[in-house]
Amino acid sequence: MSFDLILFGGTGDLVWRKIMPALFQAFRHGSLPPGGRIVGVARDDLSGDQYRALIKTRFDQVELAKRPSEEEFSRFAALLDYLRMDLSNPEDYAQLATRLQQRPAEVVVMYVATAPSLFTTVCEQIAAAGLNGPQTRVVLEKPLGHDLASNRTINKTVRSVLQEDQIFRIDHYLGKPSVQNLFALRFGNSLFEPLWRRETIANIQITIAEDLGVEKRGAFYDSTGALRDMVQNHALQLLCAIGMEPPINSHADAIRDEKLKVLRSLKAWTPETLSQHVVRGQYAAGNIDGEAVPGYRDEKGVDPDSTTETFVALRTEIANWRWAGVPFYIRTGKRLAGRDAHIEVNFRPAPHAIFKSPLVESNVGNRLVINLQPKDGLELHLLAQGSHQRHDRGTPTLVPVQLDLDFDKRFGVERVGAYERLLLDVIAGRLNLFVRSDEQEEAWRWVEPILDSWSSQPAGPRPYAAGTWGPSAASAMIARDGYCWSEEC
């Protein structure tokens, strides 16, 4: 299948950090369809050779295993081209159309890796230049909008020039192998699905923690914050994967219909739950791996008086037959104690205790941990009798054990990275791992009361020291239900 992949923002951070390494891995694995052309588009005044040289220097900054050899890059570079464009200039889109017509491709992918403010402009100009034919697919990066109204405006504009099946709203978390295995765990096996409900599950926790600060994205992050950057998209998509009902088949709309039902079932916010079940924080100066790091307000590009949150923890429920009464906890933040993303499913204790165990008595025992990063795999925590059996007044005492499946060790080089998988899916026209507009709007509708509540609170986010797990209020929130975060139990 011949294809053209146009990278708007072709010299930007996302392209060289994520997209180009993913395309190279697909090329190295032989999974990139033959007859392809990758065209970087940006305002920089570069020739094709200069662009290829720039990409080559950027590869020196990716992890060693993903760097090409001289021979590999020479072959990969044959796919690369460059076109200087001002994305607000219609004449430049006509120039792009001419370039593409010189060698018509079966599929044309327009990857809009630009500031969200340019999404509508790019899509309108693509259509004005006649580049929105049925062979065209447009990829839009998050965040898609700043709130519900802006998201609707973007979706309305994009849908006015493209069909829904031409629009690929990307969320790279859905491309992670561990998230794919979450779907396989639930819907490809009969072991857990009968237990996946309120009668056997006590609570579910989703953690997406980063030890890095805002790095070079201070100005962008200060206008976005953790709720928009992580909760509205990544965390809610993970919650949907956990909470959704089994789809009737594996087709894209069957899966996305079930995710939409979850979003519509999330309990609506009230003034009381907003005050008790939502915690926002902002990192202050602290230590990471023994090195002093500055506070958020001292980061480059950040307003010294900023009230932007770098941490969010919240409690919600899915109000339906399967999940009624089961709390779902979400937390995400920057400059936390470690880089760790995982989902923890905590099962209820045995209904009648005939064994003694501190874990049973403290309501901690059976749990399934789905590791997303940096480790990738599953852990099943159980209770068992140890080799040196202890008894308490004649009653056997249980000790914790675990089954640990490391997907990287099990599958090794067979693993496909998130962006590699998603880019190949776009070229092939598979929408399963992409977000539909009604899903996205429902997610914005649910988080908007939180944003409105914060805008009316003069106190701002709670400070927490860099290198910790966030404000103590996040621990107090979950403790009110009698539970604790995994590192605290």
> pLDDT tens digit string along 125-146?
999 999 999 999 999 988 788 9
- What local confidence, expressed as pLDDT, does residue 413 receive? 60
Query: Is residue 149 scored above 70 in pLDDT?
Result: yes
- What local confidence, expressed as pLDDT, does residue 336 receive? 97
Q: Which long-range contacts (CB under 8 A, 24 or more apart) does 359-363 make?
A: 359/383, 359/398, 359/400, 360/398, 362/489, 363/202, 363/482, 363/483
Query: Is residue 364 scored above 80 in pLDDT?
Result: no
Q: Measuring CA to CA, how many Å separate 113 from each of 118, 168, 176, 229, 431?
A: 10, 12, 19, 15, 19
- What local confidence, expressed as pLDDT, does residue 16 receive? 86
Q: Which of 60-64, 163-167, 426-430 has the lowest mean pLDDT?
A: 60-64
For 151-160, the pLDDT digits (tens) are 999 999 999 9
- What local confidence, expressed as pLDDT, does residue 389 receive? 55
Residues assigned a catalytic role:
234
Query: Is residue 299 scored above 90 in pLDDT?
Result: yes
Which pLDDT band holds residue 317 (cuts at 50, 70, 90)? very high
Tell me the CB-side half-sphere exposure of residue 317, using CA atoms within 13 A.
Answer: 19
Tell me the mean pLDDT in the region 10-16.
Answer: 89
Query: Is residue 362 scored above 60 in pLDDT?
Result: no
> Of 151, 479, 451, nearest to 312 (Cα)?
451
Tell me the mean pLDDT in the region 452-469.
Answer: 94
Query: Is residue 225 scored above 60 in pLDDT?
Result: yes
Query: Is residue 393 scored above 80 in pLDDT?
Result: no
Tell me the mean pLDDT in the region 80-101.
Answer: 94
Amino acid at site 465: A
- What local confidence, expressed as pLDDT, does residue 387 receive? 63
Which pLDDT band holds residue 1 (cuts at 50, 70, 90)? confident
- What local confidence, expressed as pLDDT, does residue 399 receive? 80
For 237-290, the pLDDT digits (tens) are 999 999 999 999 989 999 999 999 999 999 999 999 999 999 999 999 999 999
**pTM exceeds 0.85, yes or no:** yes
For 27-36, the pLDDT digits (tens) are 999 999 988 9
Which pLDDT band holds residue 359 (cuts at 50, 70, 90)? low
- What local confidence, expressed as pLDDT, does residue 41 receive? 95
- Show the 3-state SS of the chain: CCEEEEEECCCCHHHHHHHHHHHHHHHHHCCCCCCEEEEEEECCCCCHHHHHHHHHHHHCCCCHHHCCCHHHHHHHHCCEEEEECCCCCHHHHHHHHHHHHCCCCCEEEEEECCCHHHHHHHHHHHHHCCCCCCCEEEEECCCCCCCHHHHHHHHHHHHHHCCHHHEEECCHHHHCHHHHHHHHHHHCCCCCHHHCCCCCEEEEEEEEECCCCCCCCHHHHHCCHHHHHHHHHHHHHHHHHHHCCCCCCCCHHHHHHHHHHHHHHECCCCHHHHHHCEEEEEEECEEECCEEECCHHHCCCCCCCCCCCCEEEEEEEECCCCCCCCEEEEEEECCECCCEEEEEEEECCCCCCCCECHHHHCCCCCEEEEEEECCCEEEEEEEECCCCCCEECCEEECEEEEEEEEHHHHHHHHCCCHHHHHHHHHHHCCCCCCECHHHHHHHHHHHHHHHHHHHCCCCCCEEEECCECCCHHHHHHHHCCCCCCHHHC
Query: Is residue 83 scored above 90 in pLDDT?
Result: yes
Average pLDDT of the residues of the chain: 91
